[in-house]
Structure 1
Amino acid sequence: MVRKFRVVVNGKEYIVEVEEIGNSKKVQEKPKTSSPNPKPSPVMEEKKEMPETKVAEKKETSGGEGKLVKAPMAGIVLKILVKEGQEVKVGDKLLVFEAMKMENELQSEFSGTVKEILVKEGESIETGQVLMKIM
């Protein structure tokens, strides 16, 4: 069973998918170890990769074009909450999209002015697709 969680780490929000593997009773019946420092489980190692699922990515582009807001996952744009020319601050909601039957709010990770909106409501988006440019 796959479950989806919203996690905040150091003030940044991440959407994380967790999949239950096998029978939960087997997980609880792990043999006890006498080692004072047991090796980390594969689940612990997975957590190290979590920052790759950022809600919004920022990236400087060459030529002074501003910063790019990219889709963190594939989905459908439900509502665009900003307009071109609008000032935004860190944490402002930019748009709402549906992914895996859940509504997700995409928040800005930087301040500036919305230069260009590259998607429309109802449009399908892919992971990493540029959605907006912010100066």
Structure 2
Amino acid sequence: MSIRTLMLPLLLLLPLASQAQQADAPPEQDAAVVELDAVQDVGTLQAELAKVEAERQRLADELANTVDHAEVEQLNRQNLALRDRLSAMEQVADNNQAEQQRKWFIIGGATVAGSLILGWLLAQLGGRRKRNEWLN
């Protein structure tokens, strides 16, 4: 015979034995069992409360991070807008500087050309002097 066949009748008798003990138990033990169950329920409820509190704290932290994340996103968008604006302003400044350089180059070239023409005209108006006048 196997161990299982021997254990089967014992396993069937165990629930009957526990029922018999409960029926024979005095009312004082029933109150103790009820109190023990209440203590276990309180412990279970406290454990659940701790879990719920931890979950609440995690969600509060996540919400705070979401708010921070939204602020970071807004600052990133603002930063990109300011960089675009700076780039446009630098381009305008470069164009203005190039325009000013062209303007002053034209003014300088006109001054040189005018000076050459004026010098040539004055040389023509003054007449020719002979070289020997310099020698006297």
Which has the larger helix fraction? 2
1 or 2 for the larger relative contact order (CA 8 Å, sep ≥6)?
A: 1
Q: Which has the larger radius of gyration?
A: 2
TM-score by length of 2: 0.18
Under a length normalisation based on structure 1, what TM-score does the superposition of the two structures give? Answer: 0.18
More strand by share: 1
